[in-house]
Amino acid sequence: MNSDVASPAQESNFPAPVYLLAAHLAVLVAVIHVTLGLYNWIRWASAGFLLPRDLRWPLFVFSGVALVVGLLLAAQGRYRRPLYLGGIVLMGIYVVGYFGWHAAGHRPLFFLGEGAGHHGAPLTTVIHDHLLAGPVKFLAIVSEVSLAVVLAYLFVRETR
């Protein structure tokens, strides 16, 4: 077998599967956060609060849009390593923020302010219960962790 002959896949301008996986995960995470953010922000706005007491919703919208902008820049080959690092940090904020917010008692300003404090359960129980709280929440967490892993792989792989 002649190893000098390129396969049809190597001759293609189509991106490697890992880039497609990262792009699909980024779009999925962005859609989840923009949708949840807009839905809940509009609910607050319809009650007369342009800036809701729960700041997660505007932050979900802006961070979801930032993911799409980052994806477009990375697709152009611009700023890839900083974008990978930023994506990893954002996914970490999503995951730690989600479980931290629930563990801290659902405080409206994340870890500040009056919280519901109704959990009183061990942290592992809170994490387990909220990981399996519903299909969208489960999909969001799995997608965020998966995207962080893929971005970490790309960050290490690309040395420029």
* 0.85 surpassed by pTM: no
pLDDT digits (tens, 9 = 90+) for 91-150: 999 988 877 766 666 665 555 556 565 556 666 766 667 666 778 888 999 999 999 999
Query: b/e for 89-99, b at 16 or more Cβ within 10 A?
Result: ebbeebbeebb
Domain definitions of the chain by residue range? 16-157
Q: Give the pLDDT score at 1.
A: 45
Q: Which residue has the higher pLDDT, 51 or 125?
A: 51
Which string of DSSP letters, residue by residue, matches the chain? Answer: --TTSPPHHHHS-SPPHHHHHHHHHHHHHHHHHHHHHHHHHHHHHHTT-SS-SSTHHHHHHHHHHHHHHHHHHHHTTSSHHHHHHHHHHHHHHHHHHHHHHHHTT-BTBBTBS-------S-HHHHHHHHHTS-HHHHHHHHHHHHHHHHHHHHHHH---
pLDDT at 78 over 70: yes
Q: What's the chain's average pLDDT?
A: 83
